[in-house]
Amino acid sequence: MEAERQGLFRRMTPDERAQSKREVLSNLPTGEDVWLFGYGSLMWNPIIQYVERRAGHIFGYHRAFCLRTAMGRGTPERPGLTLGLERGGSCRGILFRVAGDIAEDELDFVWNREMISQAYTPHLMNVRTESGVVRAIAFVINSEHIGYAGKLTIAETADAIATAHGRLGRCSEYLENTVLHLDDLGIADGPMHRLLLQVRARMAELGIKSEDAPLQEGF
């Protein structure tokens, strides 16, 4: 992979991913159901079997396009951006409850997608729901990762998303699909909506036409 060859990406080994998952699960009661919090592509493509889906709200973190990607939705020459949880504010998303007897196996799928590299750190967080607070796994951006983009302006973010394109298609499709599913789920997220308007304006300015195919992959 070109991104790996250029040192822009280091793949975690299967043993490293397994150890990361074990460390998180060791802090949860053995055999009980496990909750997973989705705030980006996990909302519409959780890739796991679950027994309940519920809206949730976390405090102390917000979703942001803060991770550069030189593959999938970008290239080493023009990286795209994907979502992570940054400190500050709050974030609404979707909780998935995974049955305890299959949780360890099902979470393998999640770790193999979200923890390809060490761009995220899995955390256990208190998530508010209409039925009370649940403890859930959420993936927070690793600010020490080589791909961490830092605090970009909305103009910088919009330009990166508008112009990046990789083997999975345009980076803008990821944002389009995120906003679409926030709307479908009744989740108000003004910053994402405002960002989408800026991205569309930047694409129009550059004469870039958005592709119709929605994103169904992770990242």
SS3 207: coil
Active-site residue list: 114
- For residue 186, how many other CB atoms are within 10 A of its CB? 8
DSSP class of residue 148 equals: B
Phi, psi at residue 53, to the nearest 5°? -125, 135
Instruction: Give dist(CA 70, CA 47) in Å, integer.
Output: 23
* The CA-based dihedral angle spanning residues 92, 97, 102, 103, taken in that order and rounded to the nearest 10 degrees: 40
* Residue pointed to by tokens 């299967």: 14
Residue 20 three-state SS: helix
Please tell me the distance from the alpha carbon of residue 170 to that of residue 167, in angstroms, as a whole number.
8
